[in-house]
Structures are given as C-alpha cells and as structure tokens.
Amino acid sequence: MSDWLGIGVGVLAACATYLLLCKNPSRRAVGIILFGIAINLLVFAMTGAEHSRAPLVAPGQEVPRAPFTDPLPQALVLTAIVIGFALQAFALVLITLTGPVDDAEQEAGEEQ
C-alpha cells in the first residue's frame, strides 16, 4: 500500500508547495494547512501502515495482537496535528495581517 500512499502524499506535498509559492494570501493559507497534512501523512506512512490494526490491547490481554501498527509515530503525529492547528492559526493571522499591501488596498477599494 505504501507505494500508492507515497504517490498520494507526493501529490499533496506538490499542491501544498505550489499554493505556498503563490502571491495570494488565501492560497498561501490553504497551502500551509495542506502542507501540515502532507507532513503528518508522511511520518505516518514512512513507518509502515500496511498492518492496518490499531495498537490496542484487547480487554484481559497483556499485549496488542500482532501484527499492529507502530504506536510511536502515531503519538508523534497526534500531537503534531493539534500543535499544527494552533501554529496554523498563528501563521494564518500573520499572513493576513502582513499580506501584500496592494491586496488589502484593493479590498478596501471594493468595499467602498
């Protein structure tokens, strides 16, 4: 599965990079979030995701039933998703506040 997943993640990263390099602040904002998703998926996929069984221990058991997916990258990615959200909020606000001046001026002109 990793080969197809790899291509999928590649497309995600390419789209995100393209958006990040655009001039339009809205596109950049979307790009940042997309890039975060791509990275999370990258970490998840790099450590092997072909087992498709969650690292959960059944009641009464001592260890998860093998084979199961690696719990460590999951813990990493889980916090990364939430932190990513907070940092994305920070970046988004920064982008819109410091976006190109002409954009903001055009917008102000339209509203008047």
Partner 1 sequence: MTIILAILLASAVLAAPVIHRLKAFGATILAIPMMVVVGFLLNEMPDVLAGKIEREVFANLPLLSAEIAFRLDGLGLLFSLLVCVIGALVLIYAGGYFSDKPSVLARFSSFAYLFAAAMIGLVVADDLLTLFISWELTSVCSFLLIGLKHDDSNARSGAMRALLVTGAGGVALLVGLLLLADIAGTTSISTLLERGDDVRSSSAYLFVLGLIAFAAFTKSAQAPFHYWLPGAMAAPGPISAFLHSATLVKAGVFLLARLHPVLGFRPEWNVLLGHVGAITLIVGATLAFAQNDLKRMLAYTTLAGLGTLVLLLGIGTEPALKAALLFVTVHALYKASLFLIVGYLEKRTGTRDVTQLGGLLSRTPIAFVAAILAALSMSGLPPLLGAISKELVYEAKLGAPEAPILLTIVGSLGNALVICCAIMVGLSPFFRRHKPPQLRQVPAVRLLLGPLILAALGMLLGILHDTTAAPILDAALTSVVSEPVTVEFTLDASPQLVSWLGKLTILAGLLAFAFRLKLLQLLAPVKVLDRLGPTALHDYALNGILGTGSFLSNIFSRDGIRQSLIWPLLLVSAIGAVLLMSGTENWNFPELDLNPLRALLLLLVVAGALGTVCAKSTYTAVTALGITGFGVGMLFLVLGGPDLAKTQVAVETLAVLLLLLVLGRKPIQPEASRLPMRIGRILIAVTVGMTFTLLIWSAAPDGNLSQLASELAQKSVPEGYGRNVVNVTLVDFRALDTMGEVFVLAIAAIGVTLLLGGVTKKNSDSSSSASQKTLIRSPILRAAARTIVPLLGLISLVLLVRGHHEPGGGFVGGLVASAAVLLHSFAFGYKGAGARIISGKIIAIGLAVVLTSGAIGLLAGGTFLEGMWLSGKVPAVGKLGTPLLFDAGVYLVVLGVSTKVLFGLLEREGDLS
Residues 24-63 that bind partner 1 (CB under 8 A): 24-31, 33-34, 37-38, 40-42, 44-59, 61-63
How many residues are present in the chain? 112
Smallest separation (angstroms) from partner 1 to the CB of 16: 7
When the beta carbons of 4 and 109 are compared against partner 1, the nearer one is 4
User: Would you call 63 helix, strand, or coil by DSSP?
Assistant: coil
Smallest separation (angstroms) from partner 1 to the CB of 109: 13
If one asks whether residue 105 binds partner 1 (CB under 8 A), the answer comes out as no
If one asks whether residue 101 binds partner 1 (CB under 8 A), the answer comes out as no
Residue that is written with structure tokens 């058991």 in the block: 61
Smallest separation (angstroms) from partner 1 to the CB of 108: 12
Cα distance from N-terminal residue to C-terminal residue, the chain: 54
User: Would you call 60 helix, strand, or coil by DSSP?
Assistant: coil
CB 28 within 8 A of CB 3: no
If one asks whether residue 112 binds partner 1 (CB under 8 A), the answer comes out as no
And the tokens for 78? 């889980």
* Cβ within 8 Å of residue 12, ≥6 positions away: 34, 37, 38, 41
If one asks whether residue 78 binds partner 1 (CB under 8 A), the answer comes out as yes
If one asks whether residue 4 binds partner 1 (CB under 8 A), the answer comes out as yes
